[in-house]
C-alpha cells in the first residue's frame, strides 16, 4: 500500500511520484483484485477450533491463544503462494507485537497496522459481527490474509514481467513499502526498513510450529502386498507454488526449502510412518546430475523404505521393508488428489497422476540404472508433487 511507504520512518514519496507509481501499478492491482475475489471468496467467521482437509493447517504454536484460530485460518487462504500461518504469525509479531490497539505515528492501526486508505479497500469482517474494524484482531488478521494473498497474486504476475526475487519476500516487501516500490525496483526495494522487515519475518517463521490435518494411513496398510492403481488426478487443480517453507526432514541440507504442498505431504508421511524418520529422509537437494529433477525445486522427497533383493532380511522388515514401502506408496497415491502428488517411484515402478497406473520404471530415460538398488528406487520411495 503506497501510504505505508511514509510510515514508521520509511521513505516518503512525493505527490508527483505517487501519481506516477499509481499509473504504473493500477492495471496490475486491478487484475490482482479480480483474482483475489475468485480465489478468496467470502470470509468465514472465526471460531475456537479449526478443522481441515488433509494437508491444511489445523493448529499453530507460539501464537497468543486468542488469535491462534484466526492465524490458522489466514494461513489456509493462499498457501499455494507461500502465505502460510507462519508468515502471518511472524508478520503480526513484527507489525504490532500482537497488540490490537497499536498505532503508529503515520496512522497505521491495529494488529496488522493497516493505514486507513488501505483498510477501506482490503478490510473485511473476520468474526462475522457485521463490522470491519482494524482494531478488532479477528478482522485485522482476516484482512491481513486478504491483502497478503492479493499482493502475492500480483507479485506472482510481476515475476513474469521483469521483477526478481522470492514470492513471499516480494509480498512482504509490498506490504511494508508498497507494491509500487517493489515494481519500481524490480524486486525488494533497497530501503533498510523494508529489507530488515522481510529478513526479520523470514527468520522468525520457523519459531512457529504448524500442525496439519492428516489423511489416515489405515487404507494403505491393507494394500501392502503389491502396488495398487488409482483413478487419474487432474494436474490443472494445482496452482504452481514457490519454495516458501523450510525442509522439515531430518536429512535437510542447511537452509533447504520446499513448497507448501510438499511440506504438507512429507509432514504427514512422517506422522503416519514415523519409523522412517531418520537422516536418510530428505526433500531438497541440488541433484546437479539430473537437470529435470524436482528436488532442487522443493517439490520432491526421498523416503527410506527398503525392498532390495540383495538384503532379504532387511527387505522383510515389517516396519521399513518391502511391504511397508508398498503400504506407504499406496497411501500416497490413494491420497494424490489431496496432496497434489504428481508421480511416485518405488520398487522398479513409477505411478503417474495422469494415468493412475503403476508402470515399469525406465530410470528417467536411462539416466539411472533401473535394475540397481538405488537407481531403480528399491531402497527409497521418490515422491514428487505438482
Q: Tens-of-pLDDT digits for all 386 residues of the chain?
A: 333 433 333 333 332 333 333 333 334 433 343 333 333 333 333 333 344 555 577 889 999 999 999 999 999 888 878 898 999 999 999 999 999 999 999 999 999 999 999 999 999 999 999 999 999 999 999 999 999 999 999 999 999 999 999 999 999 999 999 999 999 999 999 999 999 999 999 999 888 888 776 665 555 454 688 999 999 998 888 888 889 889 999 999 878 999 999 999 999 899 888 899 999 999 999 989 898 999 999 999 999 999 999 999 999 999 999 999 999 999 999 999 989 999 999 999 999 999 999 999 999 988 999 999 999 999 999 999 99
Q: Which of 50, 41, 246, 257 is nearest to 149 (CA)?
A: 41
Q: How far apart are the first and last CA of the chain?
A: 32
| 168 vs 151: CA distance, rounded Å | 9
165 with 240, same domain? Answer: no
280 with 252, same domain? Answer: yes
203 with 325, same domain? Answer: no
39 with 16, same domain? Answer: yes
Q: Which of 94, 48, 36, 42 is nearest to 72 (CA)?
A: 48
Active site includes 193? Answer: no
CATH number at residue 53: 1.10.530
Q: Which of 84, 86, 68 is nearest to 76 (CA)?
A: 84
Q: Is 54 exposed, middle or buried (0-12, 13-18, 19+ CB in 10 A)?
A: middle
| 44 vs 155: CA distance, rounded Å | 25
Q: Which of 5, 95, 120, 193 is catalytic?
A: 95
Q: Which domain holds residue 235?
A: 216-385
Which residues have CB under 8 Å from 349's CB, separation 6+?
A: 227, 358, 359, 360, 361
Kindly give the pairing relationship between strand 257-258 and strand 57-60: unpaired
* Residue where one domain finishes, among candidates 187, 207, 227: 207
pTM of the model: 0.56
137 with 33, same domain? Answer: yes
Query: Could you tell me how many residues make up the chain?
Result: 386
197 with 296, same domain? Answer: no
Alpha carbon of 206 to those of 60, 87, 90, 229: distances in Å? 11, 9, 9, 37
241 with 373, same domain? Answer: yes
221 with 98, same domain? Answer: no
Q: Is 27 exposed, middle or buried (0-12, 13-18, 19+ CB in 10 A)?
A: exposed
Amino acid at each position: 500500500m503506497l501510504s505505508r511507504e511514509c510510515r514508521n520512518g520509511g521513505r516518503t514519496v512525493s505527490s508527483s511520484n505517487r501519481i506516477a507509481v499509481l499509473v504504473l501499478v493500477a492495471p496490475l492491482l486491478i487484475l490482482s483484485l479480480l483474482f483475489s475475489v475468485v480465489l478468496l471468496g467470502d470470509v468465514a467467521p472465526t471460531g475456537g477450533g479449526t478443522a481441515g482437509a488433509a494437508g491444511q493447517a489445523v493448529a499453530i504454536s507460539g501464537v497468543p491463544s486468542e488469535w491462534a484460530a484466526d492465524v490458522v485460518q489466514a494461513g489456509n487462504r493462499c498457501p499455494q503462494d507461500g502465505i502460510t500461518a507462519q508468515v502471518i504469525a511472524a508478520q503480526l509479531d513484527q507489525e504490532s507485537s500482537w497488540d490490537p490497539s497499536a498505532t503508529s505515528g503515520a496512522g497505521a492501526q491495529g494488529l496488522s497496522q493497516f493505514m486507513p486508505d488501505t483498510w477501506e479497500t482490503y478490510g473485511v469482517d473476520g468474526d462475522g459481527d457485521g463490522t470491519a474494524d482494524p482494531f478488532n484482531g479477528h478482522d485485522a488478521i482476516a484482512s491481513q490474509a486478504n491483502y497478503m494473498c492479493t499482493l502475492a497474486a500480483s507479485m506472482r504476475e510481476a515475476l513474469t514481467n521483469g521483477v526478481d526475487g522470492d514470492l513471499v519476500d516480494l509480498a512482504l516487501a509490498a506490504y511494508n513499502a508498497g507494491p509500487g516500490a517493489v515494481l519500481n525496483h524490480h524486486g525488494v526495494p533497497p530501503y533498510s526498513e523494508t529489507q530488515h522487515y522481510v529478513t526479520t519475518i523470514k527468520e522468525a517463521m520457523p519459531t512457529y510450529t504448524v500442525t496439519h490435518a492428516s489423511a489416515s494411513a489405515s487404507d494403505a496398510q491393507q494394500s501392502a502386498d503389491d502396488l495398487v492403481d488409482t483413478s487419474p488426478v487432474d494436474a490443472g487443480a494445482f496452482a504452481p507454488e514457490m519454495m516458501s517453507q523450510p525442509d522439515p526432514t531430518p536429512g535437510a541440507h542447511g537452509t533447504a526449502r520446499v513448497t507448501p504442498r510438499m511440506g504438507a505431504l512429507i509432514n504427514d508421511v512422517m506422522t503416519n510412518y514415523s519409523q522412517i524418520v531418520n537422516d536418510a529422509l530428505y526433500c531438497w537437494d541440488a541433484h546437479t546430475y539430473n537437470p529435470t529433477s524436482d528436488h532442487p525445486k522443493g517439490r520432491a522427497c526421498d523416503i527410506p523404505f527398503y525392498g532390495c533383493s540383495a538384503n532379504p532380511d532387511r527387505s522383510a522388515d515389517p516396519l521399513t521393508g518391502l511391504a511397508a514401502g508398498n503400504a506407504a506408496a499406496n497411501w500416497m497415491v490413494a491420497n494424490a488428489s489431496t496432496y497434489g502428488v504428481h508421480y511416485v517411484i518405488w520398487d522398479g515402478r513409477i505411478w503417474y497422476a495422469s494415468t493412475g497406473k503403476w508402470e515399469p520404471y525406465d530410470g528417467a530415460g536411462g539416466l539411472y540404472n533401473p535394475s540397481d538398488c538405488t537407481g531403480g528406487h528399491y531402497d527409497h520411495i521418490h515422491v514428487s508433487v505438482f
